[in-house]
Amino acid sequence: MGAGFGALGSVSSSSPEKRPAPHEGRQDNSPSLAHAGPVHVFQVLLGSMLLATGATGATGADPSPGVEVPASEEFSRIQGIETDTVWDILPPPGPALAEKERLRRAADRLGDRRIFLAGVELDGPSLQAVAVSSSDASLTSSVREAFGRPIDVPDLMAFLDDVLRTEQGRPASRVLVIPAGRARHHGLLLHPEDVYGSNPRRYGTRGFLATDRPVDQRPDLPPAADDDPPGPEWTMRFQNPSSEEDRLRALTIRTDDPGFENRLRALIDQLRRQGAAVWVNSTVRRPERGYLMWGAYRLAQVDSALTARETLVDLERARKEWGLDVSIDWAGAGEWTEMRERARAMAETYAVVFATEKGARSSSHYGGGAVDLVAVNLPSRLELLAPDGENQVFDLSGPMESRDLSLTPRLVEWVEDHFGLQKLRLDYPHWDDAKPPEPAHPGG
């Protein structure tokens, strides 16, 4: 690696600081659009103004084939946003101006500029529709209902301020793409740390926010060759089962027991019948793929030449210790920042947002004992019947409800108890099979 490793610059301003309001609380395959949830009653009440924008929460968790977004050539020209905690365009929060009025002003300024946030389209008209149809007290609930994602509204407002600052003078046709992983990392969506941890995400404190579209895992993406540097093409090596049906069936094939698959199907079917958008992103996974995901994630986080070198040493050590035949050239050519950018592109095509060395070395995915499951846009009243015969109704209509399976603690605990699953709290989509396979019956 070159010696001219430098740090990214920052943006300063003398405008009022964005002081975060009190908080409101990995996937591995490109998600399918086949099971997106329908428009809920609130969205219908928003009327044609909202429906005309397509902001119904009915698309996938992230942009993927089937979502109408501009061609990759246009996305390649989008640089991103240097986030900050300064209010440059919008008035700062305070008692002088209601939050819904601040959102309305942001919508007016945004106009027809399009933002794909976790797979749903936001623009001025769709945000305006929510602002005029909601009370101030229910604004968070209204935003989450309208767009079908656990959006953190104060952080969304800070992001819109940065968008308005950054995009001034740029063509209105430019599209900003913030996949779910980026959005969660920067606080635009609720993060597991907000709900279960001690390190809540605050927008404007995590530096540069890329706004390009990640490369999709698609059939025409060529696989990486041996000794290639990091990049999206590595996601086409050591692949997972390609369809949801194959992913679920792989659990039974791998364990020779249908219990985990059957319990997952029972949960998924009930969620979808009640309007939730559900994706099964990964089940059985090869250890080589887990190593590549972890390595890409680690290198995408480095912040100096020193940490880059230390991370490369760790990755080479792990590859040898684990006995993996994965001939990736992690460093590649150029500066450490170029290596980090290649790793970021690779990690985002995997859509991995959390990875540890322990998990990469001995993941329960390898033995068919785990699933990466995303379920959002849950109904305000959710009823579940568990395999053990227990029935429970959950009231998710409260103003601060996430409407997200993985981020609703009481729902997570009930599913754990009655579906035989265990949620890894800080790994957003990860659930383990907590119920051992049934013993074989003699002569059966």
431, 373 contact by CB (below 8 A): yes
Average pLDDT, the chain: 85
Q: How far apart are CA 311 and CA 347, in angstroms?
A: 15
* In the predicted structure, residue 444 carries a pLDDT above the cut 70: no
How do residues 104-125 score in pLDDT, each as one tens digit?
999 999 999 999 999 999 999 9
Q: How far apart are CA 357 and CA 362, in angstroms?
A: 9
- 106 phi/psi in degrees, rounded to 5: -60, -40
- Report the number of secondary-structure helices (H) and strands (E) in the chain: 16, 11
* In the predicted structure, residue 399 carries a pLDDT above the cut 80: yes
> For the whole model, what pTM was predicted?
0.83
Nearest-CA neighbor of 279 among 32, 28, 26?
32
Domain ranges of the chain: 41-206, 232-238+286-361, 244-285+363-433
How do residues 370-389 score in pLDDT, each as one tens digit?
999 999 999 999 999 999 99
pLDDT bucket at 438, cuts 50 / 70 / 90: low
pLDDT bucket at 46, cuts 50 / 70 / 90: very low
What average pLDDT does the segment 127-152 reach?
95
Strands 120-122 and 114-117: antiparallel
pLDDT bucket at 50, cuts 50 / 70 / 90: very low
pLDDT given at position 437:
59
Distances in Å between the alpha carbon of 147 and those of 54, 80, 155, 352? Answer: 10, 23, 15, 23
More confident residue, 53 or 199: 199
Q: Is CATH 3.30.1380 what the domain over 244-285+363-433 is classified as, yes or no?
A: yes
3 state DSSP class of 331: coil
Those residues whose C-beta lies under 8 Å from the C-beta of residue 238, and which sit 6 or more positions away, are 286, 288, 289, 292, 326
Residue type, 434: A
End-to-end CA distance of the chain: 61
Residue labelled with tokens 């992690």: 330
pLDDT given at position 189:
98
